[in-house]
Structure 1
Amino acid sequence: MPRRRFSTAERTALYLAADGYCQVCGTALEAGWHGDHIEPHSVGGPTEILNGQALCPHCNLQKGDTYMRLRKWQEDGLRKFLGTAGDFLAVATPGAGKTTFAVQAAKAMIDRGEIANIVVIVPTAHLRGQWAKSAQRGAGIKLDSNFVNRNQQIARDFDGVVATYQSVAASPLLWRKMACDPRKPTLVILDEVHHAGDSEHLAWGAALSEAF
Protein backbone atom coordinates (compact mmCIF):
# COMPACT_ATOMS: atom_id res chain seq x y z
CA MET A 1 0.00 0.00 0.00
CA PRO A 2 1.35 3.49 -0.81
CA ARG A 3 2.24 5.47 2.31
CA ARG A 4 -0.34 7.98 3.53
CA ARG A 5 1.63 10.20 5.91
CA PHE A 6 4.15 12.86 4.94
CA SER A 7 7.63 12.36 6.35
CA THR A 8 9.19 14.82 8.81
CA ALA A 9 11.30 16.32 6.02
CA GLU A 10 8.24 16.69 3.77
CA ARG A 11 6.23 18.33 6.56
CA THR A 12 9.06 20.77 7.14
CA ALA A 13 9.08 21.63 3.44
CA LEU A 14 5.31 22.13 3.42
CA TYR A 15 5.51 24.39 6.47
CA LEU A 16 8.26 26.51 4.96
CA ALA A 17 6.46 26.73 1.61
CA ALA A 18 3.37 28.04 3.45
CA ASP A 19 5.53 30.48 5.45
CA GLY A 20 3.94 29.11 8.60
CA TYR A 21 0.35 29.97 7.65
CA CYS A 22 -2.66 27.85 6.70
CA GLN A 23 -2.87 27.88 2.91
CA VAL A 24 -6.67 28.20 2.96
CA CYS A 25 -7.62 30.63 5.74
CA GLY A 26 -4.24 32.28 6.35
CA THR A 27 -4.10 31.77 10.12
CA ALA A 28 -0.77 31.03 11.77
CA LEU A 29 -0.09 27.30 11.98
CA GLU A 30 0.17 25.89 15.48
CA ALA A 31 1.41 22.56 16.78
CA GLY A 32 -0.75 19.80 15.33
CA TRP A 33 -1.26 21.42 11.93
CA HIS A 34 -2.19 19.03 9.12
CA GLY A 35 -0.18 17.97 6.11
CA ASP A 36 -2.96 17.74 3.52
CA HIS A 37 -3.07 15.98 0.15
CA ILE A 38 -4.33 18.46 -2.50
CA GLU A 39 -5.51 15.51 -4.57
CA PRO A 40 -6.81 13.22 -1.80
CA HIS A 41 -4.95 10.04 -0.99
CA SER A 42 -8.30 8.23 -1.21
CA VAL A 43 -8.52 8.92 -4.96
CA GLY A 44 -4.88 8.13 -5.70
CA GLY A 45 -3.18 11.39 -4.81
CA PRO A 46 0.52 10.76 -4.14
CA THR A 47 2.17 11.53 -0.80
CA GLU A 48 4.75 14.01 -2.08
CA ILE A 49 5.37 17.70 -1.48
CA LEU A 50 4.08 18.71 -4.91
CA ASN A 51 0.70 17.28 -3.89
CA GLY A 52 0.83 18.62 -0.35
CA GLN A 53 -0.19 21.74 1.52
CA ALA A 54 -0.07 22.92 5.12
CA LEU A 55 -3.52 23.48 6.64
CA CYS A 56 -4.90 24.24 10.06
CA PRO A 57 -7.00 21.34 11.45
CA HIS A 58 -10.27 23.26 10.94
CA CYS A 59 -9.70 23.86 7.22
CA ASN A 60 -8.52 20.31 6.60
CA LEU A 61 -11.57 18.83 8.33
CA GLN A 62 -13.88 21.25 6.50
CA LYS A 63 -12.41 20.08 3.22
CA GLY A 64 -13.76 16.59 3.93
CA ASP A 65 -14.48 14.47 0.84
CA THR A 66 -15.62 17.28 -1.45
CA TYR A 67 -12.68 16.97 -3.83
CA MET A 68 -13.69 16.55 -7.45
CA ARG A 69 -11.31 15.78 -10.30
CA LEU A 70 -11.77 18.39 -13.02
CA ARG A 71 -11.57 17.98 -16.76
CA LYS A 72 -8.81 19.75 -18.67
CA TRP A 73 -11.07 22.58 -19.89
CA GLN A 74 -12.41 23.08 -16.36
CA GLU A 75 -8.91 23.35 -14.91
CA ASP A 76 -7.84 25.82 -17.62
CA GLY A 77 -11.05 27.83 -17.20
CA LEU A 78 -10.69 27.93 -13.43
CA ARG A 79 -7.18 29.36 -13.70
CA LYS A 80 -8.43 32.05 -16.09
CA PHE A 81 -11.43 32.81 -13.90
CA LEU A 82 -9.35 33.23 -10.74
CA GLY A 83 -6.96 35.50 -12.66
CA THR A 84 -9.59 38.10 -13.53
CA ALA A 85 -11.54 40.56 -11.39
CA GLY A 86 -14.27 41.28 -13.93
CA ASP A 87 -17.23 39.44 -15.41
CA PHE A 88 -16.47 35.98 -16.79
CA LEU A 89 -18.34 34.07 -19.49
CA ALA A 90 -17.98 30.28 -19.64
CA VAL A 91 -19.33 28.61 -22.78
CA ALA A 92 -19.36 24.83 -23.18
CA THR A 93 -21.46 22.17 -24.88
CA PRO A 94 -24.34 20.44 -23.05
CA GLY A 95 -23.03 17.84 -20.60
CA ALA A 96 -19.52 19.29 -20.56
CA GLY A 97 -19.70 20.16 -16.86
CA LYS A 98 -20.55 23.87 -16.67
CA THR A 99 -22.27 23.50 -13.30
CA THR A 100 -19.28 21.64 -11.85
CA PHE A 101 -16.98 24.36 -13.18
CA ALA A 102 -19.10 27.11 -11.58
CA VAL A 103 -19.34 25.27 -8.26
CA GLN A 104 -15.58 24.76 -8.07
CA ALA A 105 -14.99 28.39 -9.02
CA ALA A 106 -17.25 29.45 -6.15
CA LYS A 107 -15.48 27.09 -3.74
CA ALA A 108 -12.09 28.49 -4.75
CA MET A 109 -13.27 32.04 -4.05
CA ILE A 110 -14.66 30.98 -0.67
CA ASP A 111 -11.39 29.25 0.23
CA ARG A 112 -9.46 32.38 -0.75
CA GLY A 113 -11.73 34.57 1.38
CA GLU A 114 -12.87 36.60 -1.63
CA ILE A 115 -16.64 36.09 -1.25
CA ALA A 116 -19.10 35.61 1.59
CA ASN A 117 -22.26 34.83 -0.41
CA ILE A 118 -23.28 33.10 -3.64
CA VAL A 119 -26.31 33.95 -5.76
CA VAL A 120 -27.21 31.52 -8.56
CA ILE A 121 -29.88 32.56 -11.06
CA VAL A 122 -31.46 29.87 -13.26
CA PRO A 123 -34.16 29.96 -15.98
CA THR A 124 -36.53 27.33 -14.54
CA ALA A 125 -37.71 26.31 -11.08
CA HIS A 126 -36.67 22.63 -11.34
CA LEU A 127 -33.03 23.65 -11.83
CA ARG A 128 -32.96 25.19 -8.37
CA GLY A 129 -32.89 21.83 -6.62
CA GLN A 130 -30.37 20.41 -9.08
CA TRP A 131 -28.02 23.31 -8.45
CA ALA A 132 -28.33 23.01 -4.67
CA LYS A 133 -27.56 19.28 -4.79
CA SER A 134 -24.57 19.78 -7.11
CA ALA A 135 -23.12 22.50 -4.88
CA GLN A 136 -23.54 20.41 -1.71
CA ARG A 137 -22.19 17.23 -3.27
CA GLY A 138 -19.34 18.78 -5.22
CA ALA A 139 -18.04 21.40 -2.81
CA GLY A 140 -19.93 21.26 0.48
CA ILE A 141 -21.66 24.56 -0.39
CA LYS A 142 -25.17 24.99 1.05
CA LEU A 143 -27.54 26.87 -1.26
CA ASP A 144 -31.13 27.68 -0.32
CA SER A 145 -33.23 26.45 -3.24
CA ASN A 146 -36.51 27.49 -1.56
CA PHE A 147 -35.68 31.18 -1.20
CA VAL A 148 -38.48 33.61 -2.06
CA ASN A 149 -38.32 37.38 -2.38
CA ARG A 150 -40.32 37.99 0.79
CA ASN A 151 -37.48 36.41 2.79
CA GLN A 152 -35.54 39.64 2.10
CA GLN A 153 -32.13 38.19 3.02
CA ILE A 154 -30.05 35.02 2.88
CA ALA A 155 -30.39 32.83 5.99
CA ARG A 156 -27.22 32.54 8.05
CA ASP A 157 -27.08 28.77 7.80
CA PHE A 158 -26.72 28.92 4.00
CA ASP A 159 -23.79 29.97 1.82
CA GLY A 160 -26.16 31.46 -0.74
CA VAL A 161 -29.35 31.00 -2.72
CA VAL A 162 -30.64 29.66 -6.02
CA ALA A 163 -33.47 31.63 -7.63
CA THR A 164 -35.03 32.16 -11.04
CA TYR A 165 -34.77 34.99 -13.52
CA GLN A 166 -38.46 35.62 -12.85
CA SER A 167 -37.69 36.28 -9.17
CA VAL A 168 -35.08 38.87 -10.10
CA ALA A 169 -37.44 40.52 -12.59
CA ALA A 170 -40.10 40.77 -9.88
CA SER A 171 -37.85 42.70 -7.49
CA PRO A 172 -34.50 43.76 -8.99
CA LEU A 173 -33.78 46.31 -6.25
CA LEU A 174 -34.07 43.60 -3.59
CA TRP A 175 -31.49 41.51 -5.42
CA ARG A 176 -29.26 44.52 -5.87
CA LYS A 177 -29.35 45.07 -2.10
CA MET A 178 -28.47 41.41 -1.41
CA ALA A 179 -25.77 41.03 -4.04
CA CYS A 180 -24.03 44.41 -3.83
CA ASP A 181 -23.48 44.75 -0.08
CA PRO A 182 -19.75 45.64 0.26
CA ARG A 183 -19.68 43.99 3.68
CA LYS A 184 -20.62 40.64 2.12
CA PRO A 185 -18.84 40.21 -1.24
CA THR A 186 -21.09 38.08 -3.45
CA LEU A 187 -20.45 35.91 -6.49
CA VAL A 188 -23.39 35.98 -8.91
CA ILE A 189 -23.70 33.00 -11.28
CA LEU A 190 -26.11 33.40 -14.20
CA ASP A 191 -26.91 29.94 -15.51
CA GLU A 192 -27.93 29.79 -19.19
CA VAL A 193 -27.71 33.58 -19.34
CA HIS A 194 -28.71 33.57 -23.01
CA HIS A 195 -32.32 33.23 -21.82
CA ALA A 196 -32.13 36.79 -20.54
CA GLY A 197 -31.58 38.01 -24.09
CA ASP A 198 -34.52 36.23 -25.71
CA SER A 199 -36.98 38.64 -27.28
CA GLU A 200 -39.88 37.24 -25.25
CA HIS A 201 -37.98 37.86 -22.00
CA LEU A 202 -36.62 41.37 -22.49
CA ALA A 203 -37.70 42.21 -18.94
CA TRP A 204 -35.27 39.61 -17.62
CA GLY A 205 -32.27 41.32 -19.20
CA ALA A 206 -33.30 44.75 -17.95
CA ALA A 207 -33.84 43.40 -14.43
CA LEU A 208 -30.43 41.69 -14.41
CA SER A 209 -28.73 44.94 -15.38
CA GLU A 210 -30.53 46.76 -12.59
CA ALA A 211 -29.94 44.05 -9.99
CA PHE A 212 -26.35 43.10 -10.68
Structure 2
Amino acid sequence: MRRCFTVRQRRILAWIAASRCAQCGNPLEPGFHADHRIPFAYGGPTLIQNGQALCGPCNRKKGTTMPTPKLRPWQQEAHHKALTWLVKDRQDHRFLINAAPGAGKTRGSCALAKTLLELGEIDRVIVIAPRAEVVNQWADDFRQVTGRYMSKVTAKDGDIHQLGLDVCATWAAVQGLQDAFQAVCRAARVLVICDEHHHAAVQAAWGEGADSAFAT
Protein backbone atom coordinates (compact mmCIF):
# COMPACT_ATOMS: atom_id res chain seq x y z
CA MET A 1 0.00 0.00 0.00
CA ARG A 2 1.34 3.44 -0.95
CA ARG A 3 2.29 5.46 2.13
CA CYS A 4 3.08 8.92 0.76
CA PHE A 5 0.40 11.30 -0.45
CA THR A 6 0.76 12.44 -4.04
CA VAL A 7 1.40 16.06 -4.99
CA ARG A 8 -2.23 16.39 -6.07
CA GLN A 9 -3.48 14.95 -2.79
CA ARG A 10 -1.25 17.35 -0.85
CA ARG A 11 -2.69 20.29 -2.75
CA ILE A 12 -6.24 19.13 -2.00
CA LEU A 13 -5.45 18.66 1.69
CA ALA A 14 -3.99 22.16 1.87
CA TRP A 15 -7.06 23.54 0.10
CA ILE A 16 -9.44 21.76 2.50
CA ALA A 17 -7.50 23.22 5.43
CA ALA A 18 -7.51 26.71 3.88
CA SER A 19 -3.68 26.57 3.90
CA ARG A 20 -3.61 26.32 7.69
CA CYS A 21 -2.56 23.53 10.01
CA ALA A 22 -5.60 21.39 10.83
CA GLN A 23 -4.47 21.22 14.48
CA CYS A 24 -3.06 24.58 15.56
CA GLY A 25 -4.39 26.78 12.75
CA ASN A 26 -1.05 28.34 11.89
CA PRO A 27 -0.32 29.05 8.21
CA LEU A 28 1.13 26.07 6.38
CA GLU A 29 4.65 26.27 5.03
CA PRO A 30 5.54 24.72 1.64
CA GLY A 31 6.97 21.64 3.35
CA PHE A 32 3.89 20.94 5.48
CA HIS A 33 3.19 17.37 6.55
CA ALA A 34 0.43 15.39 4.83
CA ASP A 35 -0.69 13.29 7.78
CA HIS A 36 -2.75 10.10 8.02
CA ARG A 37 -5.59 10.76 10.50
CA ILE A 38 -5.82 7.04 11.15
CA PRO A 39 -2.10 6.26 11.21
CA PHE A 40 -0.65 4.30 8.32
CA ALA A 41 0.81 1.92 10.91
CA TYR A 42 -2.74 1.00 11.94
CA GLY A 43 -3.93 0.43 8.40
CA GLY A 44 -5.00 3.99 7.64
CA PRO A 45 -5.26 4.40 3.85
CA THR A 46 -3.45 7.08 1.89
CA LEU A 47 -6.67 8.74 0.76
CA ILE A 48 -7.99 12.29 0.95
CA GLN A 49 -10.67 11.34 3.49
CA ASN A 50 -7.96 9.97 5.79
CA GLY A 51 -5.57 12.86 5.31
CA GLN A 52 -4.99 16.23 6.90
CA ALA A 53 -2.49 19.03 6.43
CA LEU A 54 -0.36 19.61 9.54
CA CYS A 55 2.62 21.71 10.40
CA GLY A 56 5.75 19.79 11.39
CA PRO A 57 5.46 20.31 15.17
CA CYS A 58 1.81 19.21 15.28
CA ASN A 59 2.49 16.11 13.22
CA ARG A 60 5.44 15.12 15.41
CA LYS A 61 3.34 15.67 18.53
CA LYS A 62 0.52 13.54 17.12
CA GLY A 63 2.84 10.70 16.14
CA THR A 64 0.97 7.43 15.58
CA THR A 65 -1.61 7.94 18.31
CA MET A 66 -5.25 7.23 17.54
CA PRO A 67 -7.46 10.25 18.32
CA THR A 68 -10.38 9.28 20.55
CA PRO A 69 -13.31 11.60 21.28
CA LYS A 70 -14.44 12.16 24.85
CA LEU A 71 -17.88 10.71 25.43
CA ARG A 72 -20.51 11.37 28.07
CA PRO A 73 -21.47 8.43 30.30
CA TRP A 74 -24.63 7.64 28.32
CA GLN A 75 -22.68 7.87 25.06
CA GLN A 76 -20.08 5.44 26.39
CA GLU A 77 -22.83 3.02 27.42
CA ALA A 78 -24.54 3.29 24.03
CA HIS A 79 -21.18 2.89 22.29
CA HIS A 80 -20.45 -0.29 24.23
CA LYS A 81 -23.91 -1.75 23.68
CA ALA A 82 -23.84 -0.95 19.96
CA LEU A 83 -20.45 -2.61 19.48
CA THR A 84 -21.58 -5.65 21.45
CA TRP A 85 -24.77 -5.89 19.38
CA LEU A 86 -23.27 -5.18 15.97
CA VAL A 87 -19.78 -6.68 16.21
CA LYS A 88 -19.40 -9.09 19.10
CA ASP A 89 -22.79 -10.82 19.13
CA ARG A 90 -23.77 -9.82 15.57
CA GLN A 91 -27.41 -9.92 16.62
CA ASP A 92 -28.70 -7.72 13.83
CA HIS A 93 -27.54 -4.96 11.49
CA ARG A 94 -29.89 -2.40 13.07
CA PHE A 95 -29.33 -0.49 16.31
CA LEU A 96 -31.49 2.29 17.74
CA ILE A 97 -30.23 5.15 19.90
CA ASN A 98 -33.05 7.09 21.54
CA ALA A 99 -31.76 10.33 23.05
CA ALA A 100 -33.28 13.67 23.97
CA PRO A 101 -32.57 16.71 21.76
CA GLY A 102 -29.21 18.21 22.61
CA ALA A 103 -28.03 15.12 24.47
CA GLY A 104 -25.21 14.50 22.02
CA LYS A 105 -26.48 11.75 19.75
CA THR A 106 -24.65 13.22 16.76
CA ARG A 107 -21.19 13.01 18.32
CA GLY A 108 -22.05 9.69 19.93
CA SER A 109 -23.03 8.24 16.57
CA CYS A 110 -19.90 9.68 14.95
CA ALA A 111 -17.78 8.01 17.64
CA LEU A 112 -19.46 4.69 16.89
CA ALA A 113 -18.82 5.17 13.16
CA LYS A 114 -15.18 5.95 13.92
CA THR A 115 -14.74 2.75 15.89
CA LEU A 116 -16.45 0.61 13.24
CA LEU A 117 -14.22 2.14 10.57
CA GLU A 118 -11.09 1.49 12.61
CA LEU A 119 -12.16 -2.10 13.26
CA GLY A 120 -12.61 -2.62 9.54
CA GLU A 121 -16.30 -3.43 9.95
CA ILE A 122 -17.47 -0.75 7.51
CA ASP A 123 -16.03 1.16 4.56
CA ARG A 124 -18.24 4.23 4.29
CA VAL A 125 -20.90 6.17 6.18
CA ILE A 126 -24.15 7.68 4.95
CA VAL A 127 -26.07 10.06 7.21
CA ILE A 128 -29.66 11.11 6.54
CA ALA A 129 -30.77 14.16 8.52
CA PRO A 130 -33.99 16.19 8.67
CA ARG A 131 -32.80 19.64 7.57
CA ALA A 132 -29.92 21.32 5.75
CA GLU A 133 -28.58 22.96 8.92
CA VAL A 134 -28.53 19.57 10.65
CA VAL A 135 -26.68 18.12 7.66
CA ASN A 136 -24.04 20.81 8.15
CA GLN A 137 -23.75 19.92 11.83
CA TRP A 138 -23.33 16.24 11.01
CA ALA A 139 -20.60 16.99 8.48
CA ASP A 140 -18.72 19.19 10.96
CA ASP A 141 -19.03 16.77 13.89
CA PHE A 142 -18.15 13.80 11.70
CA ARG A 143 -14.93 15.46 10.59
CA GLN A 144 -14.01 16.47 14.14
CA VAL A 145 -14.64 13.01 15.57
CA THR A 146 -13.48 10.72 12.76
CA GLY A 147 -11.06 12.96 10.91
CA ARG A 148 -12.82 12.11 7.65
CA TYR A 149 -14.41 14.53 5.23
CA MET A 150 -18.17 14.09 4.79
CA SER A 151 -19.66 15.41 1.57
CA LYS A 152 -23.05 17.12 1.75
CA VAL A 153 -25.06 15.90 -1.24
CA THR A 154 -28.40 16.65 -2.89
CA ALA A 155 -30.48 14.92 -5.53
CA LYS A 156 -28.61 16.94 -8.17
CA ASP A 157 -25.29 15.27 -7.35
CA GLY A 158 -26.24 12.03 -9.07
CA ASP A 159 -23.48 9.41 -9.08
CA ILE A 160 -22.16 9.85 -5.54
CA HIS A 161 -20.67 6.35 -5.68
CA GLN A 162 -17.79 7.73 -7.72
CA LEU A 163 -16.97 10.30 -5.04
CA GLY A 164 -15.63 7.58 -2.77
CA LEU A 165 -16.55 9.70 0.25
CA ASP A 166 -18.79 9.54 3.29
CA VAL A 167 -21.94 11.51 2.53
CA CYS A 168 -24.76 13.30 4.31
CA ALA A 169 -28.13 14.28 2.84
CA THR A 170 -31.56 15.42 3.96
CA TRP A 171 -34.54 13.10 4.09
CA ALA A 172 -36.11 15.17 1.32
CA ALA A 173 -33.17 14.38 -0.97
CA VAL A 174 -33.36 10.61 -0.50
CA GLN A 175 -36.05 10.15 -3.13
CA GLY A 176 -33.80 11.57 -5.84
CA LEU A 177 -30.75 9.68 -4.59
CA GLN A 178 -32.25 6.20 -4.37
CA ASP A 179 -30.21 4.70 -7.21
CA ALA A 180 -27.04 6.44 -6.02
CA PHE A 181 -27.43 5.15 -2.47
CA GLN A 182 -28.16 1.65 -3.72
CA ALA A 183 -24.97 1.75 -5.82
CA VAL A 184 -22.92 2.83 -2.81
CA CYS A 185 -24.40 0.13 -0.59
CA ARG A 186 -23.80 -2.56 -3.20
CA ALA A 187 -20.17 -1.55 -3.67
CA ALA A 188 -19.13 -1.16 -0.02
CA ARG A 189 -19.99 -2.00 3.56
CA VAL A 190 -21.96 1.05 4.62
CA LEU A 191 -23.15 2.32 7.97
CA VAL A 192 -26.38 4.23 7.42
CA ILE A 193 -27.22 6.66 10.23
CA CYS A 194 -30.82 7.87 10.22
CA ASP A 195 -31.30 11.03 12.26
CA GLU A 196 -34.95 11.31 13.36
CA HIS A 197 -35.64 7.81 12.15
CA HIS A 198 -39.42 8.23 12.18
CA HIS A 199 -39.04 9.83 8.74
CA ALA A 200 -38.08 6.37 7.43
CA ALA A 201 -41.50 4.90 8.22
CA VAL A 202 -43.16 3.75 5.02
CA GLN A 203 -46.24 5.77 5.93
CA ALA A 204 -44.16 8.95 6.29
CA ALA A 205 -43.69 11.45 3.48
CA TRP A 206 -40.17 10.24 2.66
CA GLY A 207 -40.55 6.69 3.90
CA GLU A 208 -40.93 4.91 0.58
CA GLY A 209 -37.84 6.59 -0.81
CA ALA A 210 -35.80 5.57 2.23
CA ASP A 211 -37.14 2.03 2.09
CA SER A 212 -36.13 1.70 -1.57
CA ALA A 213 -32.74 3.36 -1.11
CA PHE A 214 -31.58 1.13 1.73
CA ALA A 215 -33.63 -2.04 1.33
CA THR A 216 -31.60 -5.21 1.89
The TM-score, its normalising length taken from structure 1, stands at 0.63
Contact 2:114–2:145 (Cα < 8 Å) also in 1: no
Change (3 A) 1:125 1:25: same
Residue 68 of structure 2 corresponds to which residue in structure 1?
A: 67
Shift, 1:106, TM fit:
0.4
Q: CA deviation at 1:206?
A: 1.4
Aligned residues: 153
| CA RMSD across the alignment | 2.8
Whether 2:194 is the aligned partner of 1:190: answer yes
The answer to whether the aligner puts 1:89 opposite 2:96 as a matched pair is yes
Query: What is residue 79 of structure 1 aligned with on the other side?
Result: 80
- When the two structures are superposed, what TM-score results if normalisation uses the length of structure 2? 0.62
Unaligned runs of 5+ in 2: 1-39, 45-59, 87-92
Q: Look up the match of 1:131.
A: 138
User: CA separation in 1, counterparts of 2:74 and 2:185?
Assistant: 28
Task: Supply the distance in 1 between the matched residues of 2:41 and 2:83 (Cα, whole angstroms).
Answer: 16
Amino-acid identity (%)? 30
Q: CA deviation at 1:24?
A: 4.7
Residue 172 (structure 1) shift: 2.0
| Paired AA for residue 141 in structure 1 | R
Aligned: 1:142 with 2:149: yes
CA displacement at 1:156 relative to structure 2? 4.7
Whole-angstrom distance in 2 between the partners of 1:150 and 1:127: 19
Instruction: Work out the CA distance in 2 between the residues paired with 1:62 and 1:143.
Output: 22
Counterpart residue identity of residue 185, structure 1: R
Name the CA shift for 1:208/1:70 in 2 (closer, same or farther; >3 Å).
Answer: same
How big is the shift at 1:155?
Answer: 5.3
| Partner residue, 1:105 | 112
Q: Name the aligned partner's letter for residue 72 of structure 2.
A: R
Q: Residues 121 and 189 of structure 1 are in contact (CA less than 8 Å); yes or no, is this contact kept in structure 2?
A: yes
Report the alpha carbon displacement of residue 205 of structure 1 after superposing the two structures with TM. 1.1
Q: Which of 158, 168, 175 is the equivalent residue of 2:174?
A: 168
Asked if the contact 2:107–2:145 (Cα under 8 Å) also holds between the matched residues in 1, the reply is yes
Structure 2 Cα separation of the partners of residues 203 and 210 of structure 1: 13
The answer to whether the 8 A contact 2:41-2:64 is kept is no
